[in-house]
Amino acid sequence: MGRRFFGTDGVRGVANSMPITPETVLQLAMAAASHVCCGKGNHSAVIGKDTRLSGYMLEPSLTAGFTSMGVDVTMVGPMPTPAVAMLTRSLRADIGVVISASHNPHQYNGIKLFGPDGYKLSDEEELAIEAAMGDSSKGLAAPEALGRARRLDDAPGRYIEFVKQTFPKGSRLDGLKIVVDCAHGAAYKVAPSVFWELGADVIPVGISPDGTNINKGLGATDPTYMCDRVQEEKADIGIALDGDADRVIIADEKGVILDGDQVMAIITENLQSQGRLCGDGIVATVMSNLGLERFLGELGLTLTRTAVGDRYVVEEMRKRNLNVGGEQSGHIILRDYVTTGDALIAALQVLAVLVRKNKSLSDIGHAFEPVPQKLENIKFSGTLSLNDELVQKAIRDGKTQLGGDGSLVIRPSGTEPVVRVMAQGDNEELICKVVDSLSAAIKKAAG
């Protein structure tokens, strides 16, 4: 059965257009309630959101859908995605829901679903929920059995304390100056508090959400301002979050970026040196740099690659019982603490290495030399088939040219009408040629 609504990270689209409409979201909540309430007894859902204006439209629809099916709802307001995952487990809820389009502009919104264990739902569970959409009226609760809704006012404090507990016991951030870019997103209150309470001198930016400025010129997808502020303030580190704070991009004191691959390298090497790394490697996606794979090889570790999407990374980590995984884009999953990407916890683990070694981040932060990569995002309207013969020939030619020392990735985005083309290898001129040739073929096929 094909997917109608769910993509690589939940349901996503332009707000107030299909499928992100109040009606469809209502049906989604009813179907999700029907899916989790397969037995008798009390059931509950946790709902969090980021700072998009459309969140005010979608939250009541979700609440109505769940309560109509007899499910109690706890609303936690603007909170990071990993906070909702944590609270779903902590509150013993049956399902957690995040209203967010993550790194996308404010015009977009989405729905992410978590199970009672705090992990994102599997493909099979999402398909089951899709199949039930529009056919949930038979499960409507009797008037006396309707669910109740409440707001959890202390949710931010619970999450702040949870995150702080992941920092090494007895360690502090005293004397460190940190620029924290919250992208006017879900962590605009909790992120500065975490670092300040651990002793840091915090320079917060992106903490004035107005419903339409989330991710606008700031955050993990646009960290230039964060890097500039690090240098202006003579800070020790810059930390940029995306709109729902499940991904992080870090800058050293010189304003030089450390992407998710470098963050994973730092954390992995540290855990291995302390005997805390589970298994013989980590998990990343097909987009991660070959330099990371070579670095891990020198440590006697392996890199297992998955399709793009932190959910697929987590599934592979669980299968292999590994505790480190992530994406180059900044989703870092540390299963010793969390069940999904958590920007604050990942940043704290980097800071823990900084404190322990008492060195500057530029000294320890660039663990490996990345090989050249080129990524091009090709926007299209309507339909596009990558099976077009012209595109397929360009793919075959590109792989032949790159040989065994490079890689080529072509994938449609799961969140927007874009095809991403990425090549990497030691020959920068060659990878640029391959990407340009393939991009031209895709643009021609798209008409």
Report the amino acid identity of residue 258. Answer: L
CB 127 within 8 A of CB 119: no
CA–CA gap between residue 213 and residue 183 (Å, rounded): 8
Report the amino acid identity of residue 254. Answer: K
Complete edge-to-edge strand list for the sheet that includes strand 248-251: 201-205, 177-181, 237-241, 248-251, 257-258
Phi, psi of 211 (to 5 degrees): 95, -20
CA–CA gap between residue 304 and residue 290 (Å, rounded): 12
b/e burial code for range 173-206 (CB count within 10 A of at least 16 → b): beebbbbbbbbbbbbbbbbbbbbeebebebbbbb
Which of 248, 252, 249, 200 has its CA nearest to residue 360? 252
CB 249 within 8 A of CB 183: no
Catalytic residue, candidates 34, 61, 68, 102 = 102
Question: Is 102 one of the catalytic residues?
Answer: yes
What are the start-end ranges of the E strands in 37-126? 43-49, 71-78, 95-99, 108-114
Q: Which residues are catalytic?
A: 102
